[in-house]
Amino acid sequence: MLKIGDKAPDFTLPTASGETFSLSQALQQHHVVLYFYPKDETRGCTAQACSFRDQYDVFRENNAEVVGISSDSTQSHQQFSEKHQLPFTLLSDTKREIRKLYRVPRTMGIVPGRVTYLIDKQGIVRYAFNSQLKPLEHVAGTLEVLKTLL
């Protein structure tokens, strides 16, 4: 995993709406909460996404944008986003290149990991949390650290 204080690698990926997301462009305006999750429409991933959704206004009030990444297709992301009314961006990392770039570990060597990073506007990792079994703690922990950033 990347560690607190590491420079977050830049990347570009397609969004669910077919646009292009670039980390460096997003950081020009906001801190970025970048969360990697295993799969759309699974129990833990849905709970996590809905928790980010329910706290989205608080993230925005603290100048942060939430971005989720999995290896699901843009079509899967679009359906997942619409069904659960997600106000934030979901990115398709179908080749798992960004997951590797951010050193997101697999659970039991099989399941794609669940890791959240808080990246400040300078591109520095300020928070990193890895827990497959505690999807809601990703949101609470990130918010706690975000509120300390100026």
Give the amino acid at 21.
F
Count of helix runs (H) and strand runs (E) in the chain: 6, 7
Task: Provide the percentage of residues in the chain whose pLDDT is more than 70.
Answer: 99
Q: Is 6 a member of any domain?
A: no
Q: Is 132 a member of any domain?
A: yes
Q: In total, how many domains does the chain have?
A: 1
* Per-residue pLDDT tens digits for 49-82: 999 999 999 999 999 999 999 999 999 999 999 9
Task: Give the domain CATH number at 39.
Answer: 3.40.30.10
Q: Which residue has the tokens 């570990």?
A: 105
- Give me the pLDDT at residue 150, please: 64
Q: Provide the pLDDT confidence category of residue 143 given band limits of 50, 70 and 90.
A: very high
Average pLDDT, the chain: 93
In the predicted structure, residue 36 carries a pLDDT above the cut 80: yes
Q: Is 5 a member of any domain?
A: no
Distance, in Å, from the CA atom of 26 to the CA atom of 64, rounded to the nearest integer, reads 10
Q: Which residues are catalytic?
A: 45
Q: Is 34 a member of any domain?
A: yes
Q: Is 3 a member of any domain?
A: no
Q: Is 7 a member of any domain?
A: no
Domain range for 46: 12-146
Q: Are 137 and 144 in contact (CB under 8 A)?
A: no
